Structure 1
Amino acid sequence: MRERLVVTGLGVVAPTGSTAEEHWAATLAGRSGLGPITRFDPASYPVRIAGEVKGFVATDHIPSRLTTQTDHWTHMGLVAAASALADAGVVPAELPEYEMAVVTASSSGGTEFGQREMTGLWSRGPDHVGAYQSIAWFYAATTGQVSIRHGMRGPCAALATEQAGGLDAVGQARRMLRSGTRLALVGGTDASLCPYGLVAQLSNRMLSTVPDPSCAYTPFDVAACGYVPGEGGAMFVVERADDLPASRGRGGAGPGDGSAAGPYGEIAGYAATFDPPPGRGRPPTLLRAVELALADAGVRPDEVDVVFADAMGTPEADRVEAEALRTLFGPRGVPVTAPKTMTGRMYAGGAALDMATALLCMRDGVIPPTVAVTEPDEAHGLDLVLGRPRELPIRTALVVARGNGGFNAALVLRKIDD
């Protein structure tokens, strides 16, 4: 039998809250974090709405020396990582440094830092480009900085599969743990809300240009017209269940900060697939990714209690995902939710945040709602959780993610028996 891998701590930085407790409360209340872009003047851009992390001050958590060397995306990753370790009750200095791994996902890297340095280059010359430009923009920077900060010198990695990255990072960490690593700090964050980053995102032609945040991002709705970008993400401590000392539970004061002893849940199954190039006459492979993840977990479709949808928000992408879920579960066969309608699609941080929300959903027995959707497309045949949370005992949750370019990932989480 394979070793059971469990999530013992989680940390969140998101438009819905800068802690797991704040995020969970806002999500259950249906309070959206979408609004006008304030990190720069968006007046000359077609997209003016985003999910920004409000009130986040990096120097409240990280030494100023480090914040000047790193990007906003890494700041959020460092804060989420520290929160996850504290939530798990883990003190890295007390564990063998070569038995702790760090795996993160990133889609854009340090675009805000990079834009600032490029502006200095173009306007003032090469003498005004700092040495940290060479590392702060790099998509592996968060993995490196987290590893250094916590003395975690075991196997480390960075995944770049866009929105699927948060789940792919968990899959990679799972391999490391099954190969002998004792503990993995894993997850994903992204932050690309600067002119350079936004223009790069516009190239996929899937962003919503609706200026009203209450209806700009409406996946599975008849008026679906694209998605809203967001920033933030989540980090997790993952350990082998057999390695957990009986004396160590989670030790904080609120949801996501250790209010209940013991792990949040088990990582029961994972799979990833890659779509063929458009025009080849071959279907997308999202359904296969979900089927493989369920098979990996030893879970039947009728045992899944909730699906956290990828919810890309374009008519064609929604149709593909709905068709996959309908084929596997039957019409309206399982509750489906997309709480990312309150944060925007956060790229490498999006699926990681969905995973955090799913773990809290299992713990409290309540499915958070999908907001903004007012006229769901009945042709999709989905049982969307709309308007208000739905209280149900949740034992098994499925998280689905797709990354631009053909990446698909699925993760099965299972509640641990009391």
Structure 2
Amino acid sequence: MSRPPVVTGIGVVAPNGLGTAEYWSATCAGVSGIREAHKFDATQYPSRMTGEVVDFDAKEHLPSRLLPQTDHMTRLALVAADEALADAGVTQDTYPVLDMGVVTASTAGGYEFGQRELEKIWRSGPDHVSAYQSFAWFYAVNTGQISIRHGFRGPSGVVVSDQAGGLDAIGQARRQLRRGSKVIVSGGVDGSICPWGWVAHIAGGRMSTAGDPSAAYLPFDERAAGHVPAEGGAILVLEDAEAATARGAKVYGEIAGYAATFDPRPGSDRGPTLRRAIVNALRDAGMDSGEIDVVFADGAAIPDLDRVEADAIAAVFGPNAVPVTAPKTMVGRMFAGAGPVDVAAALLAIRDGVIPPTVNVRPARRYPIEIVIGEPRRAPVRAAVVIARGYGGFNSVIVVRAAGNT
């Protein structure tokens, strides 16, 4: 059997750090990027807290010709992809362009762009709507723009499964590498922090209404009452292991296992399937639960969902038997971008031997898991499990492992 694909490049855009180094430094220091919305006046809405990528000026990072045709979300994705590819040392000439592709995930598409064009329709009529609206809003636009910018013509696609989508995209990228591709750029970046997107988030019924940023997103806490929507995500360069070794690439780790399940409809006599997803991902990696050093939790901050996740983790690993962390408490829920950011954090935890903390949370005793709170924990990390769950029943799990640690 061929070796699992490896990650050779990481690019992160997050509310607490633009760029991988800045994000990781802030995360290990417990610095939060959750704050009151500043892109629009949110005082008229019941929910006001967001995770926004502040101080981001697309003109400083991208050519001017791209700006009229791209949504804010896509600009963030392009910047993350640029960083990841530079980090990996991969260019259009590294491999044949048909052996390099792009698979990303998206939850909402280009909401800000779409809102601007709707406003033009209402104000001036359809003749004033940008022709770029035809694709700038689309779920697949990040994949398309990344592949065009870097000249990759290999297998590409997009996955839409809400917050689970980022991990599903990485799983699909792994399949393409097993089929013979050399490089697949993968991950997810989302961004829908605008009035149109905000109303859609509120309609989901899971947003926090807390007015204090430090109390707005508290998974596994008795005070948990919803999440904080956020923008951002991570783009990773996944590479065939043999090809990466041959060119002497730096390797962060390998995507050792992946699995996805779907929960039954509400009211069914069948239970949640997250536990099965974790077990299947470990089986796919050829690993036992005792070989996992940390779990990066989804952290819904909805009591019923937190209970399902805590019970699934405890059932697989044992009660309080493995450290669990949810660093997304510092950034909010980035939807399709959330899982890839946690994968990036897991890879950096392996590199640096540190488990990032969960901030602001006072773990409730009824959850049988050990949550790393307050401060980062120094510990050898050889393998990690990353969990992501999407609205409506999506469950995805990835096992990240130090390269060669089979």
Where on the TM-score scale, by shorter chain, does this alignment land: which range? over 0.9
How far apart, in 1, do the equivalents of 2:247 and 2:74 lie? 32
How far apart, in 2, do the equivalents of 1:245 and 1:28 lie? 30
Is 2:182–2:239's contact at 8 Å kept on the other side of the alignment?
A: yes
Deviation at 1:331, TM superposition (A): 1.0
Q: Which runs of 5+ in 2 are unaligned?
A: none
- Equivalent runs, 1:197-276 vs 2, <5 Å: 197-249=197-249, 262-276=250-264
* TM-score (norm: length of structure 1): 0.95
1:391 aligned onto 2:394: no
How far apart, in 1, do the equivalents of 2:355 and 2:94 lie? 37
Counterpart amino acid of residue 19 in structure 1: G
Root mean square deviation of aligned Cα? 1.0
Q: What's the counterpart of residue 189 of structure 1?
A: 189
Is 2:257–2:282's contact at 8 Å kept on the other side of the alignment?
A: yes
How far apart, in 2, do the equivalents of 1:412 and 1:66 lie? 36
How far apart, in 1, do the equivalents of 2:269 and 2:247 lie? 56
Deviation at 1:50, TM superposition (A): 0.5
Measured against aligned partners, the alpha-carbon deviations of 1:366-414 in whole angstroms (never above 9, x if no partner) come to 00000010x3111111100000000110001000000001100000000
Q: What's the counterpart of residue 329 of structure 1?
A: 317
Is 2:7–2:253's contact at 8 Å kept on the other side of the alignment?
A: yes
Q: What's the counterpart of residue 292 of structure 1?
A: 280
Q: What's the counterpart of residue 66 of structure 1?
A: 66
Equivalent residue of 1:405, what SS? coil
Equivalent residue of 2:69, what SS? coil
How far apart, in 2, do the equivalents of 1:409 and 1:6 lie? 19
Distance 1:319 1:153, change over 3 A: same
* TM-score (norm: length of structure 2): 0.98
Counterpart amino acid of residue 28 in structure 2: L
Q: What's the counterpart of residue 389 of structure 2?
A: 402
Q: What's the counterpart of residue 290 of structure 2?
A: 302
Q: What's the counterpart of residue 154 of structure 2?
A: 154
Q: What's the counterpart of residue 369 of structure 2?
A: 382
Which residue, out of 291, 306, 313, partners 2:301? 313
Is 2:11–2:236's contact at 8 Å kept on the other side of the alignment?
A: yes
Which is worse superposed, 86-95 or 321-330? 86-95
Is 1:89–1:248's contact at 8 Å kept on the other side of the alignment?
A: no
Q: What's the counterpart of residue 128 of structure 2?
A: 128
Is 1:73–1:191's contact at 8 Å kept on the other side of the alignment?
A: yes
Counterpart amino acid of residue 72 in structure 1: H
How far apart, in 2, do the equivalents of 1:56 and 1:27 lie? 18
Deviation at 1:172, TM superposition (A): 0.4
How far apart, in 2, do the equivalents of 1:130 and 1:165 lie? 29
Q: What's the counterpart of residue 103 of structure 2?
A: 103
How far apart, in 2, do the equivalents of 1:279 and 1:189 lie? 33
How far apart, in 1, do the equivalents of 2:309 and 2:10 lie? 28
How far apart, in 2, do the equivalents of 1:337 and 1:140 lie? 31
Deviation at 1:4, TM superposition (A): 2.3
Identity %: 56
Equivalent residue of 1:313, what SS? coil
How far apart, in 1, do the equivalents of 2:182 and 2:227 lie? 38
Measured against aligned partners, the alpha-carbon deviations of 1:232-269 in whole angstroms (never above 9, x if no partner) come to 000011111111254533xxxxxxxxxxxx20001000
How far apart, in 1, do the equivalents of 2:13 and 2:381 lie? 24
- Equivalent runs, 1:330-369 vs 2, <5 Å: 330-369=318-357
How far apart, in 1, do the equivalents of 2:244 and 2:93 lie? 16
Counterpart amino acid of residue 347 in structure 2: L
Deviation at 1:2, TM superposition (A): 3.0
Q: Which runs of 5+ in 1 are unaligned?
A: 250-261
How far apart, in 1, do the equivalents of 2:271 and 2:319 lie? 20
How far apart, in 2, do the equivalents of 1:238 and 1:273 lie? 23
How far apart, in 2, do the equivalents of 1:83 and 1:7 lie? 13
Which is worse superposed, 297-306 or 85-94? 85-94
Which is worse superposed, 240-249 or 109-118? 240-249
Equivalent residue of 2:10, what SS? strand
Is 2:218–2:224's contact at 8 Å kept on the other side of the alignment?
A: yes
Is 2:173–2:184's contact at 8 Å kept on the other side of the alignment?
A: yes
Which is worse superposed, 281-290 or 108-117? 281-290
How far apart, in 1, do the equivalents of 2:332 and 2:4 lie? 32
How far apart, in 2, do the equivalents of 1:31 and 1:49 lie? 16
Measured against aligned partners, the alpha-carbon deviations of 1:79-103 in whole angstroms (never above 9, x if no partner) come to 1011000000111234211110100
1:413 aligned onto 2:391: no
Equivalent residue of 1:186, what SS? strand
Q: What's the counterpart of residue 138 of structure 1?
A: 138
Equivalent residue of 2:221, what SS? coil
How far apart, in 1, do the equivalents of 2:94 and 2:382 lie? 33
How far apart, in 2, do the equivalents of 1:121 and 1:378 lie? 53
Q: What's the counterpart of residue 255 of structure 1?
A: none
Is 1:310–1:402's contact at 8 Å kept on the other side of the alignment?
A: yes
How far apart, in 2, do the equivalents of 1:12 and 1:376 lie? 28
Measured against aligned partners, the alpha-carbon deviations of 1:84-139 in whole angstroms (never above 9, x if no partner) come to 00000111234211110100000000000000000110111111111001100000
Counterpart amino acid of residue 201 in structure 1: H
Which is worse superposed, 186-195 or 240-249? 240-249
How far apart, in 1, do the equivalents of 2:246 and 2:354 lie? 28
Is 2:181–2:240's contact at 8 Å kept on the other side of the alignment?
A: no
Deviation at 1:3, TM superposition (A): 2.9
Deviation at 1:417, TM superposition (A): 4.6
